[in-house]
Amino acid sequence: MKDSRNSLVTAPYLLWSVGFIIIPLIMIIYYAFTGPDGSFTTRNVGDIIYFVNMKALMLSIALSLVSTCMCLLIAYPLALVLTQVVEKNSSLMALIFILPMWMNSLLRTFAWQNILERKGVLNGILVFLGLQPFYIINKPPAIILGMVYDFLPFMVLPIYNSVSEIDKDLINAARDLGAGSFQTLYRVIWPLSLPGVISGITMVFVPSLTTFVISDILGGGKILLIGNIIEQLFTQDSDWNAGAGLSVILMIFIVISMIITAKYDREDG
């Protein structure tokens, strides 16, 4: 009786996950391991060894790592400050930092393009002030900046949640037992906020690794990340097999990164 009712409730979600997750996944894998004529091949997946693809993948990983680290460095102190400001206003403050998420990410990225352009807003101000203009547009730092700006809220939110869930008496207890502010942070707050840090890392690293919009707009089409290559294979070259092959490679990297973080989470949590 109970079982049949349970299956009734879960049926829509089961249908959803089969229709929109499992089947697309199988199709990706199917395309990845077949040629244009439908015969089995490992050539698509093997394409990753080409210099241009490998370079794009490595650059993607490097930029994603850097932007994840920067997000963490910015978000953690920010989350601490947010939880410590006058408690009544803290959720309002958090909201302000989450607010950019409500705007279209494409729009936000175009805004950065406008700001960073050779004759953009930033350089306009610098020149007006008699300072050296600053050229980072179409270079990796601009892409990192775009990633950090776009994905920072995904780091702030889980960390803020996990820090604000820490019982104030645990912090008081640490102080009571002789720990100064830094010791309390290092021995109590940090380890107890790790679940938030882990999910923040995942939520920034994965979209950074797969993005092609940010690198397209702020890289001026000159810097190819793995996401750009996959996008081009699907849209410009209409080579679904090659695109799916690289997608599978990218998925493997994402799964590996999630296994590493999950393992770290278990060991510390």
Partner 1 sequence: MSNKLIDLQNISKSFGGNLVLDELDLYIRENEFLTLLGPSGCGKTTTLRIIGGFETPDTGSVLFEGKDITNLAPDKREVNTVFQKYALFPHMTIAENIAFGLKIRKKSASYIKDKIRYALKLVNLDGYEKRMPDSLSGGQQQRIAIARAIVNEPKVLLLDEPLGALDLKLRQDMQYELIRLKNELGITFIYVTHDQEEALTMSDTIVVMNQGYIQQIGTPEQVYNEPENAFVADFIGDSNILPGIMIRDELVEILGARFDCVDKGFGENNPVDVVIRPEDIDLVSPGEGTIEGIVTDTIFKGVHYEMCVMSRGFEFIVHSTDYYPENIKVDLKVNPFDIQIMHKPESEDEKAVEIDERLP
DSSP 227-264: HHHHHHHHHTS--HHHHHHHHHHHHHHHHHHHHHHHHH
Look up residue 136 and give its DSSP letter.
Answer: -
Q: Which is nearer to partner 1, 55 or 175 (CB)?
A: 175
Which residues between 11 and 30 bind partner 1 (CB under 8 A)?
A: none
Q: Which is nearer to partner 1, 19 or 180 (CB)?
A: 180
Which residues between 240 and 269 bind partner 1 (CB under 8 A)?
A: 268-269
Q: Work out whether 173 is an interface residue with partner 1 (CB under 8 A).
A: yes
Q: Work out whether 183 is an interface residue with partner 1 (CB under 8 A).
A: yes
In this structure, the chain runs to a length of 269
Three-class secondary structure of residue 40 per DSSP: strand
Q: Work out whether 179 is an interface residue with partner 1 (CB under 8 A).
A: yes
Candidates 2-10, 62-70, 167-175, 205-213 — which segment interacts with partner 1 by CB under 8 A?
Answer: 167-175
Q: How far is CA 5 from CA 10, 13, 51, 235, in A?
A: 9, 14, 55, 45
Rounded to the nearest 10 degrees, how much is the dihedral formed by the CA atoms of 159, 165, 166, 167? 170
Q: Work out whether 185 is an interface residue with partner 1 (CB under 8 A).
A: no
Q: Work out whether 191 is an interface residue with partner 1 (CB under 8 A).
A: yes
Q: Work out whether 172 is an interface residue with partner 1 (CB under 8 A).
A: yes
Phi/psi-derived region of residue 193, left when phi > 0, alpha when psi is between -120 and 50, beta in every other case: alpha
CB of 90 to partner 1, least distance (A): 16
Q: Work out whether 170 is an interface residue with partner 1 (CB under 8 A).
A: yes
CB of 177 to partner 1, least distance (A): 4
Site string for partner 1, 115-154 (x = CB under 8 A): ----------------------------------------
Q: Work out whether 87 is an interface residue with partner 1 (CB under 8 A).
A: no
Q: Which is nearer to partner 1, 118 or 187 (CB)?
A: 187
Q: Work out whether 84 is an interface residue with partner 1 (CB under 8 A).
A: no
DSSP 171-231: HHHHHHTT--HHHHIIIIIHHHHHHHHHHHHHHHHHHHHH--HHHHHHTTTTSPPHHHHHH
CB of 258 to partner 1, least distance (A): 22
Angle at 231 between CA 138 and CA 248, to 5 degrees: 120
Q: Angle between the 90-98 and 140-164 helix axes, to the nearest 10 degrees?
A: 150
Distance CA 189, CA 201 (A): 17
Size of residue set near partner 1 by CB under 8 A: 19
Candidates 16-24, 57-65, 130-138, 183-191 — which segment interacts with partner 1 by CB under 8 A?
Answer: 183-191
CB of 251 to partner 1, least distance (A): 33
Residues that bind partner 1 (CB under 8 A): 167, 169-170, 172-180, 183, 187-188, 191-192, 268-269
